[in-house]
Chains A and B, each alone.
Chain A
Amino acid sequence: MNLKFDSPLFEVIRDEKKCIKCKTCVLECSNKVHSYDEKKDIFKADDMKCVNCHRCVALCPTKALIIKKYPLEFRENAVWTESAIKEIFKQSQSGGVLLSSMGNPNPSPIYWDKMLLNASQVTNPSIDPLREPIETKVMIGRKPEKLEFASNGKLITKMPPQVTLNVPVMFAAMSYGAISPNAHEALARAAEELGICYNTGEGGLNKDFYKYRKNTVVQVASGRFGVHKEYLNAGVAIEIKIGQGAKPGIGGHLPGRKVCEDVSTTRMIPVGSDAISPALHHDIYSIEDLRQLIYSLKEVTHYEKPVFVKIAAVHNAAAISSGALRAGADAIVVDGFRGGTGAAPTRVRDNVGIPIELALASIDQRLREEGIRNQGSLLISGSIRNSADIVKAIALGADAVCIGTAALIALGCHMCRTCVTGKCNWGIATQDLELVKRLEPDVMYKRLVNLVSAWNHEIQEMLGGMGMNAVDSLRGNRLMLRGIDLNQKELEILGIKYAGE
């Protein structure tokens, strides 16, 4: 007998008094949880299939549905928790490597919440952003050692290429393949309206998207999918993906079943073929090799685009960042331990890498000590949840942040963390055309614009509160931060004082 030990994660509860039998739930659920038995005139729910994505709940016209955590409990045990037991069930059943979606959900310390911002009182008066301009525009790219001006005041120094962001936020790299074309369109349109950038991810770029070039960062990863001269010139910057916070040391793998006609065209591989990007670029075994790739990209784009290097936040991220800058990178993108993903081996996601706050602080410190902080911008990502996280990141030394998960939540993601199935009911992490069309770019891009605009105003308010009228005045200004609930070593790495000091 083939015994299966799995039990549902969620329970679907239907209020029969409220249900008007419209069958929306049956039609909407791609996981086929809901069904209607015509003969008996009843609705059934297969709890085993429910992922708690809230699609049925949100669309139920009478709010007759509730999804709850399945009440089945194991005997209490602080060591052998429910997830520890269930993961063993799954692996002993399948023999497979556990694969999870989205960022690490475990309660590791979130340092953003342990840092507090300053504000002016009496001296250095605060500024009201409703009445006075507060600059949140940032320029991403290499900055010259010094600026030289002619006698008429004109700048003589030739500036290296820069990317202008009206808000210190970019949409993080999410490939077409991992997310749907409509999700990409919403990101691109929002980036255009906001004057920021989105990032193609490593899956190449559909020609229809070339019109967003002023707001596009194109990515190059080890598999080089869809990478060619035109693509490399189709954005304002190029990002080399070395690593990703959710899976440092692990490459990307888009399963063949997600390589549909459109994804095949963009990635330039046959339909149904696996798209494998190993962890390492096999032509990069050293900083010198990285330099070779950076300069090959600069050569083919005639030194007109800054080249970013994206790494995962790992133990020696500071030394790697220093090496990457010296290799010619114009910006370093560091993705932290809690960063999102379409799919990553669970063990890697939850155990490899370090929190972005600590990585950021140590990288900024190291680059300053080496006197090369001006040689490139520092972008960070991996669980930026709100504008306060951004302000703290800038005070720790970031030039700007990238948001992936937050952007997807704005597009309707309910964090059910089952992207890997490709059945996303919200039309985000899927290539199923029926599901994709549920995400209307026309409507949804505005939600992204709303989110980032609201954050921008909040950033201005916090800056104004500190008596500053520009993001640039806050960058690396760690005196504006104080720690709570942190030990001496953590304070030392973050380079901040304790609250009250």
Chain B
Amino acid sequence: MKTINALDVHYRKLNDSIDSAIKVDKSITLNNVFGQRYIGRGLPKGVKIKIHGIPGNDMSAYMGGAKIEVLGNAQDAIGNTMNSGRIIIHGRCGDTLGYAMRGGEIYVEGNVGYRVGIHMKEYKDMKPLIVIGGKAGDFLGEYMAGGSIILLGLNLAEGEEIVGRFCATGIHGGKIYINGNPDKYKFGKEVEKVSLTDEDTAFLKKHIALYAKFFKKDLSHLKLEYFSKYMTVNKNPYSNMYCSN
């Protein structure tokens, strides 16, 4: 496994050296990462990167199959327009995580910021997934068109709410699973709460188990029957809004 020291290296140089390194060894470790952007952008299947430190914005943008593990927090727009691959973040994440992601999986141990999972979409067997251990800010799953978001809400402090306002506003596809039953006012008008099917339960079980494995946590106390599932009422929400002139 090749190791790259990212201390004081500009992102362009760092990303270039990752490109050269993976030609030799597809598994690499980055040390002392401190806010460098675009790490893992467009990287293909087979590449594995372990990051020590805090990767900057747009990590894994347009990623095409690589696996990235971050031992630390991550900044904004992680997994932007990502196509496939897997991201595991041992910490917290900023805003717009998984913007327009079309495939792959993102696991975040702690909390995430605003507008997470917006424009997520799915296509055939590409079904993106975001699993969030903590809470999420406003506009979670805004304009969501496909894929799934699982919000676990672990370790919330007294009075802390699992999800912000305007959750799933403009949703026209995909599913959001939330551990609990947040107030209705927090959701966009396009959303409907539906009951969990057996398929949902199996899906949740599988990914909660993976979360527990990645972050070495015992989640046996989580009760699947407390989860709420949210979906779109209509996949063409605006079809009656217009009249031809």
Contact = CB atoms under 8 A, between A and B. Distances in A.
A278 B118 CA distance: 11
Contacts of A229: 42, 62, 64, 83
Interface stretch (B141-149, B154-162, B214-222): B141-149
A137 interface: no
Given A229-B42, A278-B170, 17 more contacts: A90-B245, A91-B243, A95-B243, A96-B241, A222-B119, A256-B235, A256-B236, A264-B123, A268-B121, A270-B122, A272-B236, A273-B145, A282-B99, A283-B99, A300-B38, A343-B242, A420-B244
A96 B245 CA distance: 10
A450 to B, nearest CB: 33
Label chain B's interface by main secondary structure: loop
B245 A268 contact: no
B172 A97 contact: no
A492 interface: no
A296 B58 contact: yes
Most buried by A among B61, B146, B240, B245: B245
A321 interface: no
Interface string B99-128: 110100000000000010011011100100
Size class of B's contact patch? 35 or more
Contacts of A223: 100, 119, 143
A98 B243 contact: yes
Contacts of A90: 243, 245
B175 to A, nearest CB: 14
A228 B239 contact: no
Nearest to A83: B245
Contacts of B73: none
Nearest to A91: B243
Nearest to B234: A274
A296 B42 CA distance: 10
B84 to A, nearest CB: 9
A283 B243 contact: no
Interface of B: 11-12, 15, 37-38, 41-42, 57-58, 61-62, 64, 76-77, 80-81, 83, 95-96, 99-100, 102, 115, 118-119, 121-123, 126, 139, 142-143, 145-146, 170, 172-173, 235-245
24 contacts: A95-B243, A97-B241, A97-B242, A99-B244, A99-B245, A100-B245, A224-B81, A224-B119, A228-B81, A229-B83, A268-B102, A268-B123, A269-B121, A273-B172, A276-B238, A282-B96, A282-B119, A283-B96, A283-B99, A283-B115, A292-B77, A295-B37, A296-B38, A300-B61
Most buried by B among A227, A230, A296: A296
Contacts of B99: 224, 282-283
Given A96-B243, A300-B61, A292 B37 contact: yes
A418 interface: yes
Contact of A270 (B38, B173, B242): B173
Contacts of B83: 228-229
A296 B243 CA distance: 39
A93 B243 CA distance: 9
Contacts of A272: 235-236
B173 A421 contact: no
Contact of A273 (B77, B118, B126, B235): B235
A90 B243 CA distance: 7
B74 to A, nearest CB: 15
A345 B243 CA distance: 9
A87 B239 CA distance: 19
Interface in A217-268: 222-224, 227-230, 232, 253, 255-257, 264, 268
Given A270-B122, A276-B170, A421-B244, A283 B77 contact: yes
A94 B244 CA distance: 10
A255 B143 contact: no
A296 B59 CA distance: 9
Nearest to A229: B42
A136 interface: no
A166 B77 CA distance: 39
Contacts of A87: 245
Contacts of B64: 228-230
A223 B143 CA distance: 9
A87 B243 CA distance: 10
Given A255-B236, A256-B239, A282-B119, A273 B12 contact: no
Nearest to A347: B245
Nearest to B236: A256
A253 B172 CA distance: 12
Given A96-B241, A227-B62, A421-B244, A299 B146 contact: no
Give the 4 A-B residue pairs with the shortest CB-CB distance, closest first: A96-B243, A224-B100, A229-B42, A94-B243
